[in-house]
């Protein structure tokens, strides 16, 4: 701390000697916007290490919204008190920038995501304890803090960040839904306001566009570097092998002569030139643009188009004709966005259902008649022995997305 103060004082003194002022230094400091990511990292640093058994029990307990927290887990949750206090500080900071270097492409690491999930699990376990002991306001605050943390993870336009956001939100929503019956009308209204104030997250389209920029740019730089080493325009197969090796793809080598189909594909690949590999890269970017086009459409229109797109890739993977070589990079490295699309749609539905569930809990099921329609159609309501459930149809499945509200699964 003393060294930090000396550095600040020296900086201010340097500013004065060069014609500046202390107020200018202070103004520069004040202009720095608060960043929730900085606070989250402080919370991560304060998290306790858990041994194998404790970690296993901790993870298992966090998966269920309904199982009570036993005394053993109570001790573990208590160990997180310091980090959970810091978590709540981040709730009031709107901006969150994880400072991700997307230039690293597929080599980018995202350590904050697993740490966020661990911290979120601890907060949800404490929320369950607080609900059970009647501390509903504090429990609601834990739920909202986890939702804010999840949304802040999902603010980064990467597909994995969006998925982690969805997984964390779903778990938090389930814990909240299991305990809505405990809340007063005033608490339900405050909860509605808090949820509406949560930050927006990156869309699937933004995630794919960022993936194309990051991975496509990284891959192009890699290919350029390998081409400079090879200095042989006919060495396309060698170039492709170098790319696959960097990306961790297995090198199977030349197939056994008895494997006629595999040998045919291998020999076709050997005819590749450097220009062919650059053509593959251009085609991969075209395929990314097609993915963006599909993801931009209404969700109900997407499943059939994803099926058509993925069928084309599967066909190209067989390398039946030489033109199929043009999509080798696409076949190998494009993300399965249809599955991403489905999971993003499900969390969007869950967000809608929990807001409706709060209103139903507060005003009764009749509120659904005047509620804002879901993009996925009519919301179904069913009373259960211990509460109720809401359902919304899924364009990609015969099984609806369901939110169960009450005491049991």
Q: pLDDT digits over 293-327, tens only?
A: 999 999 889 999 999 999 999 999 999 999 999 99
3-state secondary structure of 293: helix
How far is residue 320's CA from residue 300's CA, in Å, rounded to a whole number?
Answer: 33
Q: What percentage of residues in the chain have a pLDDT greater than 70? A: 90
Mean pLDDT over the full length of the chain? 87
pLDDT of residue 20: 44
pLDDT of residue 400: 87
pLDDT of residue 14: 35
pLDDT of residue 408: 52
Q: pTM of the full predicted structure?
A: 0.87
Least confidently predicted of 76-80, 249-253, 353-357, 397-401: 249-253
102, 214 in Cβ contact below 8 A?
yes
How far is residue 206's CA from residue 162's CA, in Å, rounded to a whole number?
Answer: 10
Using the predicted structure, report yes or no on whether residue 126 has a pLDDT greater than 90: yes
3-state secondary structure of 383: strand
The mean pLDDT value for 85-93 works out to 95
Which among 66, 73, 68 has a CA at the least distance from the CA of 180?
66
Q: pLDDT digits over 221-249, tens only?
A: 999 999 999 989 999 999 999 999 998 87
Per-residue b or e along 67-90, where b marks 16 or more CB atoms closer than 10 Å to that residue's CB: eebeeebeebbebbeebbebbbeb
Contacts of 266 (CB under 8 A, 6+ apart): 254, 255
pLDDT of residue 106: 93
Confidence category of residue 3, pLDDT binned at 50, 70, 90: very low
Tokens 């520069």 belong to 28
3-state helix, strand, coil in the chain (%, to 5): 70, 5, 25
Using the predicted structure, report yes or no on whether residue 31 has a pLDDT greater than 70: no
Element (H, E) at 405: strand 397-406
pLDDT of residue 54: 82
The residue with greater pLDDT, 301 or 72, is 301
309, 291 in Cβ contact below 8 A?
yes
Using the predicted structure, report yes or no on whether residue 175 has a pLDDT greater than 80: yes
pLDDT of residue 161: 96
Using the predicted structure, report yes or no on whether residue 254 has a pLDDT greater than 50: yes
151, 325 in Cβ contact below 8 A?
no
How far is residue 3's CA from residue 195's CA, in Å, rounded to a whole number?
Answer: 42
Phi-psi region of 300 (alpha: psi -120 to 50; beta: other; left: phi over 0): alpha
The residue with greater pLDDT, 30 or 121, is 121
290, 302 in Cβ contact below 8 A?
no
Which among 162, 212, 209, 207 has a CA at the least distance from the CA of 333?
212
Q: Cα 178–179–185 angle (5° rounding)?
A: 135
3-state secondary structure of 21: coil
Helix and strand totals (H; E) in the chain = 17, 3
Q: Cα 353–409–153 angle (5° rounding)?
A: 50
Strand partners, 387: 384, 406
Using the predicted structure, report yes or no on whether residue 272 has a pLDDT greater than 90: yes
Per-residue b or e along 205-232, where b marks 16 or more CB atoms closer than 10 Å to that residue's CB: bbbbbbbbbbbbebbbebbeebbeeeee
The mean pLDDT value for 100-123 works out to 95
């Amino acid at each position: 701390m003393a060294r930090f103060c000396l550095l600040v004082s020296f900086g201010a003194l340097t500013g004065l000697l060069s014609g500046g002022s202390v107020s200018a230094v202070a103004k520069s400091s004040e202009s720095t916007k608060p960043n929730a990511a900085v606070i989250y990292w402080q919370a991560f640093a304060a998290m306790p290490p858990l041994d194998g058994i404790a970690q296993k029990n901790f993870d298992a307990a966090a998966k269920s919204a309904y199982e009570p927290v036993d005394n053993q887990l109570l001790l573990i949750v208590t160990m997180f008190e310091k980090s959970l206090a810091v978590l709540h500080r981040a709730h009031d900071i709107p901006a969150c920038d994880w400072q991700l270097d997307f230039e690293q492409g597929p080599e980018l690491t995202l350590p904050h995501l697993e740490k966020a999930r661990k911290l979120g699990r601890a907060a949800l376990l404490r929320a369950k304890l607080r609900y059970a002991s009647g501390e509903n306001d504090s429990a609601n605050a834990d739920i909202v803090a986890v939702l804010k943390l999840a949304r802040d993870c999902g603010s980064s336009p990467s597909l994995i960040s969006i998925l982690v956001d969805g997984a964390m939100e779903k778990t938090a929503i389930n814990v909240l839904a299991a305990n809505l019956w405990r809340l007063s009308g005033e608490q339900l209204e405050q909860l509605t306001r808090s949820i509406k104030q949560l930050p927006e997250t990156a869309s699937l389209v933004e995630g794919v566009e960022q993936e194309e920029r990051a991975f496509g740019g990284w891959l192009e730089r890699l290919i350029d570097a390998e081409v400079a080493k090879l200095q042989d325009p006919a060495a396309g197969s060698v170039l492709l092998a170098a790319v696959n090796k960097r990306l961790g793809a297995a090198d199977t080598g030349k197939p056994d002569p008895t494997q006629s189909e595999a040998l045919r594909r291998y020999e076709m690949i050997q005819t590749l030139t450097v220009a062919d590999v650059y053509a593959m890269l251009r085609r991969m970017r075209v395929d990314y643009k097609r993915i963006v086009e599909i993801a931009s459409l209404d969700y109900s229109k997407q499943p059939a188009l994803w099926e058509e797109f993925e069928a084309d890739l599967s066909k190209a993977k067989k390398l039946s004709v030489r033109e199929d070589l043009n999509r080798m990079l696409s076949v190998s490295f494009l993300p399965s966005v249809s599955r991403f699309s489905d999971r993003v749609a499900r969390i969007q539905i869950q967000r809608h259902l929990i807001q409706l569930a709060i209103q139903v809990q507060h005003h009764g099921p009749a509120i659904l008649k005047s509620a804002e329609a879901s993009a996925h159609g009519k919301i179904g309501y069913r009373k259960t022995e211990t509460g109720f459930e809401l359902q919304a149809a899924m364009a990609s499945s015969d099984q609806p997305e369901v939110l169960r509200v009450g005491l049991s699964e």
